[in-house]
Chains A and B, each alone.
Chain A
């Protein structure tokens, strides 16, 4: 084996120590399809037993790999089969005990989030979907680590506007029930269009029904590394910028691939996918917004933001695809406002609005993410924001999502602090014009035509 060059060693070490290179998450997907039972208590016990058995060594394995490779692995997480499916056979209609079982299992194995308190209702509801969605506010208020998601539309099925209307009310109710903690429940609730089955990132992770019994997926990160690499091509044309991003994404993804393979081998399970996402954190030097500013914008959100973001997103995919055997999940740059120091600054400066963020979601992963809005925003307005975002996903054949936090008692100019990776956020203004009559109609938006694509 050849001796690796000093320059390569210095480059990698610099990425880790100075530019926040990390593996964002190792997520173990665990199928709970065999946990269904007519009795809620039995179902909850089966869920707890299966998770604590399958994921017993997940956190330790993550820590071992982190120690050997010397690269931080920030989160160890679990995604499970959508609980609407698992709970459907239960006689009881409130699924909160199943969320509590997930929470207890997550605490027991030491992961920091567990995703899959979810329902997929693109075309309509089953009994289990209805029960699950109705249980979301109580479930999120009575658990700490459980994340919930609902898929309300898809390119193939259209948009379920009854579910869109309901999710506006569920988001409001969740905010109300967790108002003592700045509506933290809403930070763990995502409304999707075209949700993917193998997403390792929270809060939207679940293990779809097409996935195996268990698998390991990895989400990579590294906005700081990309930003630093771009500092070397200042003044050069945009082709040089794209090329530099591609090369950097390749290197970052190779680390993710190595971690995923090692983790799958040691946990005796299948390697699922690498999610090629640039996921920011509130730490200085770990921001997607700062990459756009490095490319040449005065402030993220100003004119040029959509174009630079589109190029960034595409270049990350091109570099990452070559570096991994299996790519999946959401795979794109994330733009969660409260989790990105540059986005927060842009909102505070007045250069970034919800409307611009909506435009940005047309060209990147995933949607209106971690946005704090005034507590007096109505359920109908939230539903309409969800509908707009779902329409972008449906027409463009991509995943979109809404994770907004209507913070009770707070308005524009206030701030909320979620802590840790969830960061902090200034409350953003929302249009006051009412969509109430539209939302009250309900029904379904038909699936779109896939030709004549202008």
Chain B
């Protein structure tokens, strides 16, 4: 399963480092990252592969939710299926 991780929040040092650190710990392979800063706000969309992952999406979300609270950003983790269903025929 491929997942989409979106991060939105006030920019600060180390957001990508911390998010990808958690993914690496759980053996989740990053496929694509796009990131921008608009008016001081950090926006990131990260697509990753859970095929060889050491965890499942629910516990990965719990881990990222905890991080989101620590660094004061919003992190969403979703299966890619919802985006492909909606935007690709």
Q: Mark A41-80, 1 if CB is under 8 A from B, else 0.
A: 0000000000000000000000010011111000000000
Whether the Cβ atoms of A71 and B82 lie closer than 8 Å is: yes
Whether the Cβ atoms of A69 and B45 lie closer than 8 Å is: no
Q: Mark A15-47, 1 if CB is under 8 A from B, else 0.
A: 001000000000000000000000000000000
* Smallest beta-carbon distance B5→chain A, Å: 10
Can you list 10 residue pairs at the A/B interface with Cβ under 8 Å? A3-B32, A8-B87, A9-B83, A17-B76, A68-B79, A70-B77, A70-B82, A251-B86, A255-B82, A258-B82
* Smallest beta-carbon distance B60→chain A, Å: 10
Residue A232, interface by CB 8 Å: no
Whether the Cβ atoms of A12 and B86 lie closer than 8 Å is: yes
* Bound CA–CA A2/B84 (angstroms): 10
* Smallest beta-carbon distance A327→chain B, Å: 16
Residue A452, interface by CB 8 Å: no
Which residues of the partner chain B approach A11 to less than 8 Å between Cβ atoms? 87
Which residues of the partner chain A approach B58 to less than 8 Å between Cβ atoms? 64, 67-68
Which residues of the partner chain A approach B78 to less than 8 Å between Cβ atoms? 68-71
Whether the Cβ atoms of A4 and B84 lie closer than 8 Å is: yes
* Bound CA–CA A6/B32 (angstroms): 10
9 nearest CB pairs, A to B: A70-B78, A8-B87, A258-B85, A69-B82, A254-B85, A68-B79, A4-B83, A251-B86, A254-B86
Whether the Cβ atoms of A255 and B79 lie closer than 8 Å is: no
Residue B10, interface by CB 8 Å: no
Q: Is the interface of A mostly helix, strand, loop or mixed?
A: helix
Q: Mark B55-89, 1 if CB is under 8 A from A, else 0.
A: 00110010000000000000011111111111110
Q: How many A-B residue pairs have CB under 8 A?
A: 63
What number of B residues sit within 8 Å (CB to CB) of A? 24
* Bound CA–CA A5/B87 (angstroms): 9
Whether the Cβ atoms of A255 and B47 lie closer than 8 Å is: no
Residue A10, interface by CB 8 Å: yes
Considering only residues 223-240 of chain A, those with a C-beta below 8 Å from chain B are none
Whether the Cβ atoms of B6 and A13 lie closer than 8 Å is: yes
Whether the Cβ atoms of A4 and B80 lie closer than 8 Å is: yes
Additional A-B contact list (19), CB under 8 Å, known A9-B4, A71-B82, A258-B82? A1-B2, A3-B32, A4-B4, A4-B80, A5-B87, A6-B34, A6-B45, A8-B86, A8-B87, A9-B83, A12-B83, A12-B87, A70-B79, A71-B78, A251-B87, A254-B85, A255-B82, A255-B85, A258-B85
Residue A257, interface by CB 8 Å: yes
* Smallest beta-carbon distance B56→chain A, Å: 9
Beta-carbon nearest neighbor of B78 in chain A: A70
* Smallest beta-carbon distance B53→chain A, Å: 13
* Bound CA–CA A419/B82 (angstroms): 31
Residue B13, interface by CB 8 Å: no
Which residues of the partner chain A approach B87 to less than 8 Å between Cβ atoms? 4-5, 8, 11-12, 251
Beta-carbon nearest neighbor of B56 in chain A: A68
Which residues of the partner chain B approach A64 to less than 8 Å between Cβ atoms? 58
Whether the Cβ atoms of B82 and A4 lie closer than 8 Å is: no
Whether the Cβ atoms of A257 and B76 lie closer than 8 Å is: no
Beta-carbon nearest neighbor of A71 in chain B: B82
* Bound CA–CA A292/B62 (angstroms): 40
Whether the Cβ atoms of A69 and B47 lie closer than 8 Å is: no
Considering only residues 13-72 of chain B, those with a C-beta below 8 Å from chain A are 31-32, 34, 45, 47, 57-58, 61
* Smallest beta-carbon distance A224→chain B, Å: 16
* Bound CA–CA A2/B79 (angstroms): 15
Which residues of the partner chain B approach A251 to less than 8 Å between Cβ atoms? 86-87
Whether the Cβ atoms of B85 and A10 lie closer than 8 Å is: no
* Smallest beta-carbon distance B3→chain A, Å: 9
Whether the Cβ atoms of A68 and B86 lie closer than 8 Å is: no
* Bound CA–CA A13/B82 (angstroms): 10
Given A8-B86, A258-B85, A69 contacting B2 (CB threshold 8 A): no
Beta-carbon nearest neighbor of B84 in chain A: A4
Considering only residues 177-227 of chain A, those with a C-beta below 8 Å from chain B are none
* Smallest beta-carbon distance B27→chain A, Å: 18
Whether the Cβ atoms of B57 and A67 lie closer than 8 Å is: yes
Which residues of the partner chain A approach B80 to less than 8 Å between Cβ atoms? 4
Whether the Cβ atoms of B45 and A258 lie closer than 8 Å is: no
Which residues of the partner chain B approach A258 to less than 8 Å between Cβ atoms? 81-82, 85
* Bound CA–CA A217/B6 (angstroms): 30
Beta-carbon nearest neighbor of B82 in chain A: A69
* Bound CA–CA A5/B80 (angstroms): 11
* Bound CA–CA A64/B79 (angstroms): 11
* Smallest beta-carbon distance B73→chain A, Å: 14
* Bound CA–CA A185/B23 (angstroms): 50
Whether the Cβ atoms of B76 and A70 lie closer than 8 Å is: yes
Complex partner residue of A4 from B47, B61, B76, B77, CB under 8 angstroms: B47
Beta-carbon nearest neighbor of B88 in chain A: A4
